[in-house]
């Protein structure tokens, strides 16, 4: 049983079709990376899984539920964006807990989950800082923390490292890999960076012009002509 399943998913903007009926099954705990040139439909596909874009045709399932008509917050997934979207006036601790507070979780539950996320991401020393007092990599970790505290079924990443310098990118790749191993979760990750795809993916999905061109392990995709 696939954790995330796309069946004949189509996306049109007006008359222009940008995703042409793709099929993809993603297994529980699998790390899947969508790669391909700019404009091939990676981000649109991810956003349709997240519910941030309506699908024009076909079907998206998460768990065993068809989610076509569910809003993002009801899909039990967390999206991590490249622009960190942290609340500037809140501390790291408040940033981590805010979503749970809105969802009316108890104080005890919020504290427990926030501390757990801080522990996983090594944020303990930074909890009282505001985003302005953090480095780029630290902000990205807080953004991941905000996703972790929700205990989602799956994490969706849209080019999360593209704003970081080369050294930090390598460091954050390691963090994300560690996160996947620690939290044991399903990940769908969009990037145009082949090295990122190689190092992170269990399975790579190569997109081209709104189609899935190839699916395979990093070895299969990058080592064969």
**Per-residue binding letters, 5-44, with ligand ADP (x by CB under 6 A):** --------x----x-----------------x-xxxxxxx
Q: Whole-number minimum distance, CB 45 to ligand ADP, in Å?
A: 7
Q: How far is the C-alpha of 67 from the C-alpha of 141, rounded, in Å?
A: 28
Q: Whole-number minimum distance, CB 98 to ligand ADP, in Å?
A: 21
Q: How far is the C-alpha of 145 from the C-alpha of 140, rounded, in Å?
A: 9
Task: By CB under 6 A, name the one of 55, 134, 154, 200 that touches ligand ADP.
Answer: 134
Q: Which is nearer to ligand ADP, 168 or 183 (CB)?
A: 168
Q: How far is the C-alpha of 104 from the C-alpha of 34, rounded, in Å?
A: 34
The reply to whether 191 sits near ligand ADP by the rule CB under 6 A is no
Q: Which is nearer to ligand ADP, 57 or 105 (CB)?
A: 57
What are the distances in angstroms from CA 196 to CA 33, 34, 62, 68, 170?
9, 11, 25, 30, 8
The reply to whether 114 sits near ligand ADP by the rule CB under 6 A is no
What are the distances in angstroms from CA 13 to CA 36, 53, 91, 206, 209?
20, 10, 39, 22, 14
Q: Which of 181, 177, 180 is nearest to 199 (CA)?
A: 177
Q: Which is nearer to ligand ADP, 43 or 199 (CB)?
A: 43
Tokens of 23: 């099929």
Q: Which is nearer to ligand ADP, 22 or 100 (CB)?
A: 22
Coil vs helix vs strand at 10: strand
Task: By CB under 6 A, name the one of 8, 23, 59, 135 that touches ligand ADP.
Answer: 135
Tokens of 92: 């790291």
Q: Which is nearer to ligand ADP, 6 or 100 (CB)?
A: 6
Q: Whole-number minimum distance, CB 144 to ligand ADP, in Å?
A: 15
User: Site for ligand ADP (CB under 6 A): how many residues?
Assistant: 16
Phi, then psi, of 20 in degrees rounded to 5: -110, 65
What are the distances in angstroms from CA 79 to CA 25, 114, 139, 177, 178?
19, 17, 15, 16, 17
**Per-residue binding letters, 40-79, with ligand ADP (x by CB under 6 A):** xxxxx-----------------------------------
Q: Which is nearer to ligand ADP, 41 or 51 (CB)?
A: 41
Summarize as ranges the residues that interact with ligand ADP (CB under 6 A). Answer: 13, 18, 36, 38-44, 133-138
């Amino acid at each position: 049983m696939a954790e995330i399943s796309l069946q004949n998913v189509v996306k049109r903007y007006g008359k222009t079709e940008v995703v042409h009926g793709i099929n993809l099954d993603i297994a529980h705990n699998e790390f899947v990376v969508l790669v391909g040139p700019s404009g091939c439909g990676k981000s649109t596909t991810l956003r349709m899984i997240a519910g941030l874009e309506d699908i024009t045709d076909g079907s998206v399932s998460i768990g065993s539920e068809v989610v076509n008509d569910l809003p993002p917050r009801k899909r039990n997934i967390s999206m991590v964006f490249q622009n960190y979207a942290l609340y500037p006036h809140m501390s790291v601790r408040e940033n981590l807990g805010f979503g749970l507070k809105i969802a009316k979780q108890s104080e005890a539950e919020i504290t427990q989950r926030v501390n757990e996320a801080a522990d996983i991401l090594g944020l303990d020393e930074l909890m009282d800082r505001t985003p302005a007092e953090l480095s780029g990599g630290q902000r990205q970790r807080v953004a991941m923390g905000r996703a972790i505290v929700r205990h989602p079924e799956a994490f969706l990443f849209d080019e999360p490292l593209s704003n970081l310098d080369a050294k930090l990118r390598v460091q954050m790749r390691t963090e994300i890999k560690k996160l996947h191993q620690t939290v044991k979760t399903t990940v769908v990750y969009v990037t145009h960076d082949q090295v990122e795809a190689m190092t992170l993916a269990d399975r790579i999905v190569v997109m081209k012009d709104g189609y899935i061109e190839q699916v395979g392990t990093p070895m299969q995709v990058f080592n064969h002509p």
